[in-house]
Amino acid sequence: MKTARTMLLLAALAVLAAVPWFGSDVLIQFGINALLLAVLAQGWNVIGGYAGYASFGNSVFYGLGSYGVAIAMAQWQLPFWVGLLFGAALAVVFAVLIGMPVLRLRGHYFAIATLALAQVMAAIVSNVKLAGRNVGLVLPPLNNDPLFYELSLLLLVLATLTVYWLTRSRFGFGLIAIRENEEGAAVMGVNTTLYKTVAFAISGVFSALAGGIHAYWVTFIDPESAFDIGLNVKMIIMAVFGGPGTVFGPVVGALSLSAVSELLSSEITSLAGLFFGVIVVVAVVLMPRGLADVLRRFRSTGWRYFAENIRSHQL
């Protein structure tokens, strides 16, 4: 069974990797967006799914990664990979400095605190000359969508392997203990502050790398687009839709919802947002623990699974 699952995953990865060879330009561009959203959902999964802290601040890491690449390439004329490392370093520093005090908050207090971070950072960057202030920065163009696609896919593989490592490591078990009962985890010897801060930093690194790749791909960034809180909402929805606290749930959620969103936008543009919202609401009611939980339990419970969820919501 395990061998068959591994072979299936490798086959799926091979198909995804081959898209630039047989796919159209539109499909490749859609793939880049979908893969980067999957990376963001997987990054959020570390702090939100495993540690249980619903962060609305990951868009700050995305913006820092974008500006790290933009500043390195447009202002300092450095290579792209240096900009990626610079953006990731900014994300780690920010996660440590902000995470230490903010992660002491819990529940909606933590969510509100992280929600404000993106707006504060956008205001700060808008007044920094090196970052182009409100005007933004233009990066040197590179018309190579297949390269950006493969980079996005590689980053997604790295993020997923990291989450898989969490399910097998003492650090990951510590995060799960924090999610289930933080006081109990502390009593058992888990350094909760350190674990949460490291999880915040790991989450931030993947978000920053995704932002850096996207910035070089679109060749332009400004504070509004780089620190867009709507992007944070998307990554949370996709992670929750697929199944938070699982290895492949956020990936499946991001890719499937990206496909639905693209289909609705192309077929019924004026009502795409409405239908997308309805799909998300229905999914949350019928499968509140995500697609991963459906696949795990549907075989044994059948359609009763959805009926039980409906009753639990008193509908």
User: Is 114 contained in some domain?
Assistant: yes
Distances (CA, A) of 61 to 43, 241, 271, 292: 10, 22, 31, 27
Query: What's the pLDDT score for residue 41?
Result: 96
Same-domain status, 203 and 298 = no
User: Is 255 contained in some domain?
Assistant: no
Which structural domain range is residue 56 located in?
29-247
pLDDT of 173 > 70? The answer is yes
User: Is 262 contained in some domain?
Assistant: no
User: Is 135 contained in some domain?
Assistant: yes
Same-domain status, 173 and 308 = no
User: Is 211 contained in some domain?
Assistant: yes
Same-domain status, 242 and 310 = no
Same-domain status, 148 and 217 = yes
CA distance 284 to 277: 11
Residues whose CB is less than 8 angstroms from the CB of residue 297 and which lie 6 or more positions away in sequence, other chains included:
305
Same-domain status, 149 and 211 = yes
User: Is 4 contained in some domain?
Assistant: no
Query: What's the pLDDT score for residue 160?
Result: 97
pLDDT digits (tens, 9 = 90+) for 35-61: 999 999 999 999 999 999 989 989 999
Query: What's the pLDDT score for residue 298?
Result: 62
Same-domain status, 293 and 211 = no
Q: What percent of the chain has pLDDT over 70?
A: 89
Which has more pLDDT, 165 or 293? Answer: 165
Same-domain status, 119 and 231 = yes
User: Mean pLDDT, to the nearest integer, of 180-185?
Assistant: 93
Same-domain status, 243 and 286 = no
Same-domain status, 207 and 289 = no
* Mean residue pLDDT across the chain: 88
pLDDT of 181 > 90? The answer is yes
User: Is 254 contained in some domain?
Assistant: no
Q: Which of 10-19, 159-168, 256-265, 282-291 has the lowest mean pLDDT?
A: 282-291
Most confident of 69-73, 262-266, 287-291: 69-73
User: Mean pLDDT, to the nearest integer, of 13-32?
Assistant: 92
Q: Is the dihedral of CA 289, 197, 96, 69 positive or negative?
A: negative
Using H for helix, E for strand and C for coil, what is the string for the chain? CHHHHHHHHHHHHHHHHHHHHHCCHHHHHHHHHHHHHHHHHHHHHHHHHHCCCCCCCHHHHHHHHHHHHHHHHHHCCCCHHHHHHHHHHHHHHHHHHHHHHHCCCCHHHHHHHHHHHHHHHHHHHCCCHHHCCCCCEECCCCCCHHHHHHHHHHHHHHHHHHHHHHCCCHHHHHHHHHHHCHHHHHHCCCCHHHHHHHHHHHHHHHHHHHHHHHHHHHCEECHHHHCCHHHHHHHHHHHHHHCCCCCCHHHHHHHHHHHHHHHHHHHCHHHHHHHHHHHHHHHHHHCCCHHHHHHHHHHHHCCHHHHHHHHHCCC
Q: Please, are residues 249 and 43 in contact by the beta-carbon 8 Å criterion?
A: no
Same-domain status, 207 and 73 = yes
Into how many domains does the chain fold? 2
Same-domain status, 304 and 188 = no
Q: Which of 88-102, 169-183, 254-268 has the lowest mean pLDDT?
A: 254-268
Which has more pLDDT, 109 or 33? Answer: 33
pLDDT digits (tens, 9 = 90+) for 222-236: 999 999 988 998 899
User: Mean pLDDT, to the nearest integer, of 72-98?
Assistant: 95
Query: What's the pLDDT score for residue 255?
Result: 93
User: Is 139 contained in some domain?
Assistant: yes
Same-domain status, 204 and 278 = no
Kindly report the pTM of this predicted structure. 0.92
